[in-house]
Amino acid sequence: MTRSFPAGFLWGAATAAYQIEGSPLADGAGESIWHRFSHTPGRIANGDTGDIACDHYRRWESDLDLMASLGLKAYRFSLSWSRLYPEGTGRFNPAGAAFYDRLVDGLLARGIEPYVTLYHWDLPAALDDRGGWVNPDSAEWFAEYARGAYRLLDGRVRNWVTLNEPWVIADGGYLHGVLAPGHRSAWEAPRVSHNLLRAHGLAVRAYRAEGAHRIGLVLNLEPKVAASDAPADLAAAARGDAYMNRQYLDPVFKQSHPEELADIFGPGWRQPPAADYALTGEKIDFLGINYYSRGLTVNDPSAWPVRIRTIKNPSATYTETGWEVVPAAFTALLVRVAQEYGNPPVYITENGSAFYDPPVARAGRIDDPLRTQYLQDHLGAVHAAIAQGADIRGYFVWSLLDNLEWSLGYGKRFGIVHVDYASQVRTPKASALYYRDVIRRNAL
């Protein structure tokens, strides 16, 4: 049975600056927190860093040809803030900006629509020295950078994303410390989340003054499903949902915060001043949703501070990052967002899976049946959500290339294109060829 997508459905692939570019200090760029973090012993698996990554900073042109050969209609990538503003604010660095100039022109020349994320986790280190996202001034720093980026690229770029995944920034960077800058504080985390949403709101306002097209926000959403009917597990799932999903959805769409946050953060929680909701709830043109998995949730009083734990489903497939494969939960999530948050225009800005692939391709081939199946099943899930009325406009697979999976290093491969890191040879995997076919037919 052929399942067609709506006419004009946008097909793309996504990446992020620090994960693929390499040459992090080239052409006058400043250090980012990820550069620092990856050069701190013990922070990243294998001692991996983004110093070379996919060498995309130098191989961008052949990478654009690769995108064109796969038939991509759109490409989502992020700008490195510290290439444009080496100290984070103040001095603009034209030599760093020139990289994105060339990249955007190259995309347009190939008929590929650029989707630009302003912030995918690589805060200029100079701003971390001033307190990073804990400092309330961070919202203004971000707005200044955003304005510089709009002046450079708006018009050629017609679709902007302010932040990628504020939850991961706050949870990984400031609550549990497994991501840069590596803090561990239940006092900082809610402040960071709030400052991020204020930064987002100011950047949207700046865009209304300077830009002429569309701007949105990307959230990673994970349905939290209680593992049993026990009241404690049901409450745990509700807490997990409030913490991971509603902490961001509610201020953006409903100008409120879930009540559970006060219980989760205890004395660390501070209800934002009512006036801030006008800012965090600034109207966006689309919501980007990143979906990878669901969380099968139990109550766990020992798990600081949310008191939840994700348990294994013995009958499910798991990816190499330990995530349960559940396409039906993706459909349910998309329908829920449509029903509870006013059916906003949605792009799936990331979805994908890490499964083992050998480091070197043999005879120009990489067969990746598990990733291909994941892709097929999750595209089916998106199709089903559209059939139930969700306003979904496009899909970006994560990721175009195997790349630096943050603290997990290069060992986890999410690409539909294989990267041999020793030679930098790219090989489209079977999943890429499958995806090319879906794009060509606009159908499954």
Distance CA 271, CA 371 (A): 42
Does 350 engage in binding with ligand BGC (CB under 6 A)? yes
Query: If phi over 0 gives left and psi between -120 and 50 gives alpha, with beta otherwise, what is residue 53?
Result: left
Residue tagged active-site, from 21, 165, 222, 324: 165
Enumerate residues 6+ apart whose C-beta is below 8 A from 339. Answer: none
Comparison of 16 and 244: residue with beta carbon closer to ligand BGC: 16
CA angle at 301 for the pair 294 and 193, rounded to the nearest 5°: 60
Report the residue number, 19 or 247, with the smaller CB distance to ligand BGC: 19
Distance CA 409, CA 173 (A): 16
Closest CA to 297 of 249, 220, 234: 234
The answer to whether 154 contacts ligand BGC (rule: CB under 6 A) is no
Instruction: Annotate 329-388 with DSSP letters as a single string.
Output: HHHHHHHHHHHHTT---EEEEE--------SS-BTTB---HHHHHHHHHHHHHHHHHHHT
Provide the 3-class DSSP secondary structure of residue 265: helix
Tokens of 435: 């995806």
**Closest separation in Å from C-beta 164 to ligand BGC:** 5
Asked whether the beta carbons of 118 and 144 are under 8 A apart, the reply is no
> 94-109 vs 138-153: helix axis angle to the nearest 10?
50
> Is the Cβ of residue 233 or residue 402 nearer to ligand BGC in the bound state?
402
Amino acid at 432: A
Out of 52, 357, 405, 438, the only residue in the binding site for ligand BGC (CB under 6 A) is 405
Q: Which is nearer to ligand BGC, 168 or 417 (CB)?
A: 168
Which of 89, 162, 290, 431 is the binder for ligand BGC (CB under 6 A)? Answer: 290
Active site residue 31: no
* Closer by beta carbon to ligand BGC, 282 or else 350: 350
Nearest-approach distance from CB 168 to ligand BGC, in angstroms? 5
User: Which residue, 286 or 398, has its beta carbon nearer to ligand BGC?
Assistant: 398
32 near ligand BGC (CB under 6 A): no
Minimum CB separation of residue 48 from ligand BGC in Å reads: 13
Q: Beta partners for 401?
A: 417
By CB under 6 A, tell whether 180 contacts ligand BGC.
no
Mask: binding to ligand BGC, 2-21, rule CB under 6 A, as x and -? --------------x--x--
The catalytic position among 188, 260, 324, 350 is 350
CB under 6 A: which stretch of 79-87, 127-135, 164-172, 434-442 binds ligand BGC? 164-172
* Total of residues contacting ligand BGC (CB under 6 A): 11
> Distance (Å, rounded) from C-alpha 404 to C-alpha 21?
10
Three-state secondary structure call for residue 299? strand
Per CB under 6 A, 398 contacts ligand BGC: yes
- Of 27 and 55, CB closest to ligand BGC: 55
Is the CB of residue 189 less than 8 Å from the CB of residue 134? no
**Residue 122 within binding range of ligand BGC, rule CB under 6 A:** no
User: Is residue 164 involved in binding ligand BGC (CB under 6 A)?
Assistant: yes
Interaction of residue 159 with ligand BGC, rule CB under 6 A: no
Tallying the residues shown for the chain, one arrives at 444
Enclosing H/E stretch for 76: strand 74-78
Q: Is 168 among the residues that bind ligand BGC (CB under 6 A)? A: yes
350 assigned to active site: yes
Residues lying near ligand BGC in the complex (CB under 6 A): 16, 19, 164-165, 168, 220, 290, 350, 398, 405, 414
- Which residues are catalytic, by number? 165, 350
